[in-house]
Amino acid sequence: MARGAYGQRLGESVGVEAPPSISVQRLQRTEFAATRVSWDRREGDGAGRIEREDGYLVCLQLLDLEPHPYWVGGRPVQIAPIRSGQFTLLDLNSEHSSVLTDPIDCLAIYISRQAFDRMAEERGVSRMGTIGIAPGVPNDDIVVRSLGTSLLPALQRPEQANQLFLDHVGMALLTHLGSNYGDMPTGHRPRRGGLAPWQERRAKEILLAHLDGDIALEALARECGLSRSHFARAFKETTGSPPHRWLLARRIKRAQDLLLNSSLSINEIASSCGFADQSHFTRVFAKIVQAGPGEWRRSRRR
């Protein structure tokens, strides 16, 4: 994306710099760019245009969206009602334009053609030709919905989003779209057995040295002499969890040890275990352990 962050350009295409009521959140990563755009009813003509790119845009609606004027390559396209949780997919090799004045809350995920090509190369399959979704047709897909909504907390608090998790979401979305809506072959599954012992040791050493998860999946795979796709599958085969979940479990375990066996404050423990701040640590700990760190510490020290 040579012309800068895609989220910035998408915001500009819907007039983000003009109406103050529009809210845009952006998350730029190697495999994708996620942008959340929302507004109440807009004044004016509500016209927007998305220029051509060699890639695709997944538009996951978080509010119901009624039919509205829409054009692809200058030709009008019939738009069906799109319900909350459904997505449409735009092939950006054509220009898209629309008139939208109704309230909207949309998560748009940009994926470049190069990202699909890279995924195919790693999996040893032929490159995807195209994605066969007609413009304006809503799709109800629990995988796309789950992956998309999992990004919403990261958009709200980008400083708390770790790279391992975002790499995992990006790869999962690429694989699902390419295999289920495109013509990317599924490919041969790697032989079972997971990582070799030395690979498992090395991967875990690196993960534990980056408790905040600020390491790319590609870097882990390279240390093990594998492609990202092969490494991700083999790691889960070996440990039962993808790398980001395995690391999160280790972080919580370390936090529990420190809560029980040290006099460190909760804020100090949060920092020691790679969390962005105390509130981030408290939220994640409570979700997993079903109790806040202070409450958990008090109950175990009685």
For 100-148, the pLDDT digits (tens) are 888 889 999 999 888 888 888 888 787 888 787 888 889 999 999 999 9
- The pTM of the full predicted model, rounded to 2 decimals, is 0.81
The pLDDT assigned to 19 comes to 37
Token pair belonging to 252:
């919580």
- Binned at pLDDT 50, 70 and 90, residue 179 comes out as confident
| Statement: residue 215 has pLDDT above 60 | yes
20 pLDDT band, cuts 50/70/90, is very low
CB proximity list for 298: less than 8 A, separation 6 or greater: none
DSSP string, 158-210: GGG--HHHHHHHHHHHHHHHHHHTB-----PPPPSS-S-HHHHHHHHHHHHH-
Residue 268, pLDDT > 90, answer yes
Task: Note the pLDDT tens digit of each residue in 47-101.
Answer: 788 888 888 999 999 999 999 899 999 999 998 899 999 999 999 999 999 988 8
Amino acid occupying residue 171: M
Residues 128, 184 contacting (CB under 8 angstroms)? yes
Helix (H, G, I), strand (E, B) or coil at 121: helix
Question: Which CA distances in Å does 110 have to 89, 138, 139, 148, 173?
Answer: 10, 17, 17, 12, 11
Which pLDDT score is estimated for 4?
41
Residue range 219-263, pLDDT digits in tens: 999 999 999 889 999 999 999 999 999 999 999 999 999 999 999
What number of other Cβ atoms are within 10 A of residue 258's Cβ?
Answer: 19
Contact between 72 and 85 under an 8 Å Cβ cutoff? The reply is no
Instruction: Give the count of beta carbons closer than 10 Å to the beta carbon of residue 214.
Output: 11
> Using CA atoms, how far apart are residues 276 and 7, in angstroms rounded to an integer?
24
